[in-house]
A and B are shown apart, each in its own frame.
Chain A
């Protein structure tokens, strides 16, 4: 899960000790990321959401730390049984331990969320860089394409694409959902990247690099990218939360994870019909899903506030 760490903490690099503190020496320039980190350190929302994200990550990497029961130790005799010490959330209609199932549900959700965000990030980065840097017909084609993609409601497109990709009845749908969310999710990040690149392209330091003989790739990746990556990374952090919610939604609708995958969305869909008999199997996955998505989106929001003080 180090990939997720890379995404969520990329905006706050390095220990704060080797960076100048607020106002201590105005002569020394601070980088954008350094400024943002100073802002973030005093934000309560940032620390709360970061702590929540850390617990969820731990749950995904090491679920046996939280529960000794397995998610698939189901005994039909326990159907809808009340809570015990090993199963504080009770049992569901198949006699599975709801607590264990909910804890283990974090892993597949995060795998889908992280990899879908990575795919969307790479595609969005390349498309945004190319469109912003080269302009002309490439920009026109890419921008119209993004317009068309944003012209279709997201969930409708995702239903059709996920259904197509998960035609293999043997698979558990993780690859299909990841691809679906990745291929549909890159548009916003590409737009953000494109406009940041266009404003960075006209700066003097890029012209200087060009005059010193830097090629297109060097200009893009060494000079333009580091100065336009901030808003792009913020969009990706929020997209991570959105992707986790979308995975649960698709699984709930029946075109997402299936088979041996454990997903909060799947658990919500399974518990729906017997909600009057037993509410626990429905309530706990919903709570965990809500808290997870909220934590990631709040984190993204706090990071955006730090990067873009104008928005406040």
Chain B
């Protein structure tokens, strides 16, 4: 177990430096003139150049610039966007909205997917099983960038059940439609994994033993099967976070929800390099850390799993 943790940490460090280096190199390396990229068409005096150097370290060699950037990331100082706002402040404002949206999405989709998956897994091959698998395939295939605007038109504009755009201090109900849409990106995998793991466990010896002891079906499924079947579903959280981040950029863009994805969406449109790099880096770090925690949790939860 200890060796596994060490190896997993080393792998995360490798991914962190690989990903941040690539992001940084792609965004900032080989810029023709980084000063003009910042100030636009206006002429630039020597004093202004020196001031920009002090702020953005343009005069340093590339690796030193990268080091400044990593140091900023690790100490939680993300610098200033091109619109001259502190990126830390923007992140602090945006995170609560996104976390609220993502939690709501995960809770709703997990509740539906897990209960549907359990029923489908108990009666594998039945009508309900076939129907849920078909729904899951359609949900998996429909791109969010098509689904979200369609839902906005139908349920927001035409029917008027939900607000078309969402403000910063939105209540849970305002976030419900975006959260349902965001939930579709994780629904299908959660359902499929629950179903197959329930179906596998239904045939396990311990289930036969429990039935032979005369336990009620409710207890056999609710306690014995469910506890063992949900472990693989938990590992999905790691994968889900990546899908949720991608989905949040789209959903928040469509519904103008002022979260992390929306700021990133706006940053891309406004060609705000520092903002895009900082937001992408923060999202990558969050993704890596959550995946590390989930992997360790998995090893702790399932005693059969022992990593060499």
Contact = CB atoms under 8 A, between A and B. Distances in A.
Nearest 10 CB-CB pairings of A with B: A155-B246, A245-B143, A297-B141, A153-B242, A151-B15, A286-B146, A164-B26, A290-B146, A289-B146, A294-B141
Interface in B227-270: 241-243, 245-246, 249-250, 253-254, 264-265, 268-269
A276 interface: yes
A283 interface: yes
A44 B149 CA distance: 30
B5 interface: no
A287 interface: yes
A156 B291 CA distance: 16
B142 A279 contact: no
A86 B291 CA distance: 53
B145 interface: yes
- Among A144, A248, A283, A290: residue with most chain B CB under 10 A: A290
Interface in A146-163: 147-148, 151-157, 159-161, 163
Interface stretch (B89-97, B204-212, B218-226, B280-288): B280-288
A207 B290 CA distance: 45
B200 to A, nearest CB: 13
Interface stretch (B66-74, B113-121, B150-158, B300-308): B150-158
A254 B141 contact: no
Interface residues of B, number: 48
A268 B268 contact: no
B14 interface: yes
Contacts, number: 135
Contacts of B145: 245, 248-249, 252, 265, 268, 286, 289
A298 interface: yes
Contacts of A252: 145, 250, 253
A182 interface: no
B280 A160 contact: yes
A156 B246 contact: yes
A294 B150 contact: no
Nearest to B279: A156
Interface string A141-183: 0001001100111111101110110000000000000000000
Interface in B6-59: 11-12, 14-15, 18-19, 22-23, 26-27
A276 B157 contact: yes
A96 to B, nearest CB: 18
B141 A275 contact: no
A272 B254 contact: yes
Contact of B287 (A152, A264, A289): A152
23 contacts: A151-B287, A153-B241, A153-B242, A155-B245, A155-B249, A156-B245, A156-B246, A159-B264, A159-B276, A160-B280, A248-B145, A248-B146, A253-B250, A254-B269, A268-B145, A268-B146, A271-B149, A276-B157, A282-B149, A287-B150, A290-B142, A290-B150, A297-B140
- What's the dominant secondary structure at chain B's contact region? helix
A263 to B, nearest CB: 11
Contacts of A144: 11, 14
A139 interface: no
A225 interface: no
Given A155-B245, A248-B145, A287-B150, A163 B280 contact: no
Contacts of B243: 153
Contacts of B250: 249, 252-253
Interface string A242-286: 000100110011110000000011001001100110010011011
Given A276-B157, A282-B149, A148 B268 contact: no
Contacts of A294: 138, 141-142
Contacts of A306: none
B14 A164 contact: no
Contacts of B27: 160, 163-164
B280 to A, nearest CB: 5
A164 B24 CA distance: 11
A80 to B, nearest CB: 14
Contacts of B144: 249
B147 A153 contact: no
B268 A254 contact: yes
B284 A152 contact: yes
Contact of A279 (B138, B153, B268): B153
B269 A161 contact: no
B143 A148 contact: no
A263 B195 CA distance: 37
A301 interface: yes
A241 interface: yes
B296 interface: no
A148 B152 CA distance: 36
B253 to A, nearest CB: 7
Nearest to A280: B153
B149 A275 contact: yes
Contacts of B107: none
B164 interface: yes
